A and B are shown apart, each in its own frame.
Chain A
Amino acid sequence: MKLPIRVTVNGAPQAHEVEPRLLLVHYLRDVLGLTGAHVGCDTSQCGACTVLVDGQAVKSCTVLAVQTDGAEVTTIEGLAALGPTPPAPLPVREGGEDRHSQSPAPPFPTRERGPGGLGLHPLQQAFWDQHGLQCGYCTPGMIMAAYDLLRQHPRPSEAEIRHGLEGVLCRCTGYQHIVAAVQQAAEQLAAPAPPAS
């Protein structure tokens, strides 16, 4: 038996009938073709599948697609369009319609572009600048987790960054450049926006 769900993913409304047991990560990857979130384990340790559900980082291998019915999901593919990291606290989810009605924040200045001219979120830019990734497999999850970290701690200490990211495993970098990337993004996001030109 399949169940109908309506989810807003990266700003676009989606409606599908899915098996109740379908994991959110497989819904994103196999149904929507958003393959940025990766699967690296089967016990919710690695965090490579981390996405935002209603603004909060969750491991999408631990959430059923049907649980996100009515929710707003942001994946790494939609991060740049999301705008700068919003400050805490998040708008409370009340189950009404209007929680999707927030107008998107103005786009932030980016120095470089992603593939196809896509803009980069300051976190994406910082991971690039600081060599915060090697194989890149954990990176989407790491960046989404870092986004949530900066939402809660806009000026995190090094220890707060390390603690805040301990739920995402990286096997390549030894984490040092990841920490540097989050520090760079935090600085950029906390700085007053330059005047629009």
Chain B
Amino acid sequence: MVLSRSVGASIKRREDPRLVTGQGQYVDDVRLPGTLYMAFVRSPHAHARVGRIDATAALQQPGVAAVFTHADCALALTTHAALNPEKPPPPHPVLAGDRVRFVGEAVAVVLADDRYVARDAADLVEVEYEPLPAAASMQAALAEGAPLVHDDYPGNVYMKMQRNQGDIEAAFRQAARVVRLDIFNQRVNSLPMEPRAALAEYRRYDETLTLWSSNQVPHTLRSEVAKLLDMPESRVRVIAPDVGGGFGSKLNVYPEEVLTAWAAKRLGRPVKWVEERRESLLTLSHGRGQIDEIEAAVAADGKILGLRARVVGDLGAHLLLFTALIPVLTINMLVGPYDIPVVASELTEVFTHCAPTDAHRGAGRPEATFLLERLMDRIAAELGLDPADVRRRNFVQPGQFPYTSAVGSVYDSGNYPAALDKALEVVGYRALREEQRRLRAQGRYLGIGLGSYVELTGVGPSRGFGAPVWEAAVVRAEPDGTVTVMCGAPSQGQGHETSFAQLVAGELGVPFESVRVLTGDTAVGVTGIGTFGSRSMPVAGGAIVGAAARVREKALQVAAALLEAAPEDLEYRDGQAMVRGQPGKVVTFQQIANAAYAAFMLPPEIEPGLEATMFFDPPNMTYPFGTHVCVVEVDPSSGEVQLLRFVAVDDAGRIINPLLAAGQIHGGIAQGIGQALYEEIVYDEQGQLRTASLMDYAIPTADKVPAYELDHTETPGTTNPLGAKGIGEAGTIGSTPAVVNAVLDALQPFGVTHIDMPLKPERIWQAIRGRQAGAQDAAVVEAAEEAPDTGEPRRVPPGQEGR
């Protein structure tokens, strides 16, 4: 591999000129004549039997073309994570049949020639419901006699999985202390600024369907739509044009996308659906949603001897593409960066009468990291140790790689103490602890929180993963010497048009400006999988440099013919092939490309043309890591948290574009702060969503986040040719525990040891009050301290807030 100047450079994005001038093309910007707009009739009940549906009034509205229900379209989606080997996954109809299972589930669609008319008419569709009792939380779903989400799954349990290593009883017998922790990792919404949107056009004359969708996996969407519409894949084209953010939520095939395509085919007119934010909060896959009970057997020096974990994952009402896989990823990362030799884990996946969950930035790894990082701080507090020392004592050491963890993950490379030390140095840890002591004496509450993590990126190989997780790229030199790169991994803002071009410019030694990148269209001449799990550099990047290397090899053959030399006597440098030791004998890449297509100068054994394809299926995953440090001040009179500093030291191996990598980390941190302090999906007991608008669901605004201080270490990954590790999710994974640990560190003088996320001022204020009230009653304090697992003064049960 030849990567040169362009790789590693902070090159400005070539996507931006169109996006800053309003010339971007998102799905709703694509306009086709004669388009019908589709609006949804959605269930107002979390669980109900569906009776008669009367569309008479809707159909009488001028401009309404059709109303469809389950009676018209009984298609059902398939999941790619059918993890229960004993039973088929429950059917997931695109329009509910005789039962609805969550508020917002689609019951009917209305198509009209104007988006306002479609919306009006949807309100005129009358649906008879017979409401049924709902199980709208994991606790409710697992309770004795709970209403069933799917009749075939008694107890609402989809599957249970145990993963154990070593003698857990012995580990606990040896423990100097047992540290216990209950975590509720609340549901959140990815909240891409562009809600979902789909536009479909069926052309009768050549029997082709084109579907534009705001989606991370256009090829997967194509396969599913073709299968469901009984069309050959070759006649279905999916385009994910400019996509306004995904964060995992668009790594899916949704009922709405399938219905848009189905209706366009059925009616012979283009059909467009644009999601409203309310719909998005109701039905876009939610992330997280886990209850974690952990128990650590700890030696007197803070070393963890064994870990017992019971994880309950909230699937929601249906299995989307990877719903059931996400909690498994928590188990895969259950020991994080720590050398914990003995583990007993049990995962229970449970259906609830809530929206389906699936990937959200981090997908399973943030949950594991959060419970471990809370555990580290709890161990430090209970043993009177410094939180940094506890982490250092437990880290997998640099000499242990490749490291096989007790739950079976093989970490390729890492140096966890180095990242921690650097983070502490950047933040000035010792001085901050001094400052904390000084301020506490003045009645000001500074908190310092650490979040160390390791996470898995670039899942693979396909045979190990049980799903296609390769990526493909075509690199084509055009006759004029410019280069077109086609890749199956589209961008939702990551900047692939820039970073992928850097890879090819580096490999071929051609100007960055001469390389064009095409993604997000199944018709551009490459197949693919998509963009998720921080795979763009480790997996798609591997395919791209592999294809470019093949082009370079072929270019050398062509050059040899042009220079009348043997290929082994040539060297290729800076976009030129030259005969070693003969300075004058040189041809440029442009001349080579020109000759490759002109073809008449080529010997018969060289095929005309200059392009190559590469499928890259990584031999294993690659594991980025780092340490984040957050510094906060908490105002105990209001519970307000001020984020004073945020230091992130991340190691994602080889960095292709530092500017874009910084952007990824910044955005990830902001989303992690969001989960820690602001964001939560709240259902009431009846399964009504109480956070169905941006008035109720708070994401960080510009004035709520600090200036981030970034640094990095560089430990190359070993499972892809670039040495790259994924950078897309790390920011979210490290930041949430760092923020929560900082707030709880600040509250240490109040004896507050736990608050459920998000740490809103009200909860913090209540927690401080609860403990202070208790302090006046010695008996209460003692009782609380004898049972450390219920140490929190007033734990607000999930979803019970504010009642």
Question: Which A residues have a C-beta under 8 Å from some C-beta of B?
Answer: 19, 21-22, 26, 29-30, 33-43, 45-46, 48, 75-77, 79-80, 112-115, 118, 120, 124, 127-129, 131, 133-140, 143, 158-159, 161-163, 165-179
Where the two chains meet, the residues of B that have a C-beta atom closer than 8 Å to any C-beta of A are: 12-13, 15-26, 28-29, 31, 115-116, 191-195, 242-245, 247, 274, 276-278, 492-495, 659-660, 662-663, 666-671, 693-695, 699-705, 707-708, 731
Contact, CB under 8 Å: A77 / B22 = yes
Q: Closest CB-CB distance, A84 to chain B, in whole Å?
A: 16
Residues of A contacting B116 with CB < 8 Å? 19, 21-22
The answer to whether residues A175 and B670 also contact, given A134-B495, A139-B20 and a CB cut-off of 8 A, is yes
Are the CB atoms of B495 and A115 closer together than 8 Å?
Answer: no
- Distance, CA A140 to CA B29, complexed state (A): 14
Residues of B within 8 A of A43 (CB): 277, 693-695
Bound CA span A21–B117, Å: 12
Identify whether the interface residues of B are mostly helix, strand, loop, or mixed: loop
Report which residue of A75, A114, A127 has the largest number of chain B beta carbons within 10 angstroms of its beta carbon: A114
Known: A112-B17, A178-B702. A171 touches B191 (CB 8 A): yes
Question: How far, in whole Å, are A119 and B391 apart by their CA atoms in the complex?
Answer: 53
- Closest CB of chain A to B142's CB: distance in Å? 33
**A42–B277 Cα gap in the complex (Å)?**
6
- Out of B21, B693, B708, which one reaches A77, CB within 8 Å? B21
Given A34-B22, A172-B493, A134-B693 contact (CB < 8 Å) = no
Q: A138 with B16: in contact, given A120-B21, A175-B705 (CB under 8 Å)?
A: no
Total contacts A-B at CB 8 Å: 197
CA gap between A169 and B694 in the complex, in Å: 10
Report the bound CA distance from A48 to B707 in whole Å: 23
Partner of A136, one of B15, B274, B670: B15
Nearest chain-B residue to A76 (Cβ)? Answer: B22
> Judging by beta carbons under 8 Å apart, are B12 and A129 in contact?
yes
B551: min CB distance to chain A, Å: 28
Q: Which residue of A lies closest to B24 (CB)?
A: A136
Considering only CB atoms, which chain A residue lies closest to B361 in the complex? A171
Question: Which residues of A lie under 8 Å from residue B701 when comparing CB positions?
Answer: 165-167, 169, 175
Which residues from chain B contact A22 at a C-beta distance below 8 Å? 116
Q: B242: which A residues are within 8 A, CB to CB?
A: 135-137
Apart from A35-B22, A46-B694, what are 18 other A-B pairs with CB-CB below 8 Å? A36-B22, A38-B28, A39-B274, A75-B22, A131-B12, A133-B493, A135-B242, A136-B242, A136-B244, A139-B19, A139-B20, A159-B703, A165-B703, A166-B704, A168-B702, A171-B667, A173-B667, A179-B702
B residues within 8 A CB of A138?
193, 244
**CA A38 to CA B701, docked complex, whole Å:** 18
Q: Quick check: A173 and B663 within 8 Å, CB to CB?
A: yes
Residues of chain B with a CB closer than 8 A to A120's CB: 17, 20-21
**Partner pick for A133 among B19, B192, B276, CB 8 A cutoff:** B19
Known pairs A115-B18, A175-B670; A38 contacts B194 (CB<8 A): yes
Query: A residues within 8 A CB of B666?
Result: 173-177
**Chain A residues near B13 (CB, 8 Å)?**
128, 131
CB atoms of A135 and B243 under 8 A apart: yes
Complex Cα–Cα for A8 and B671 (A): 39
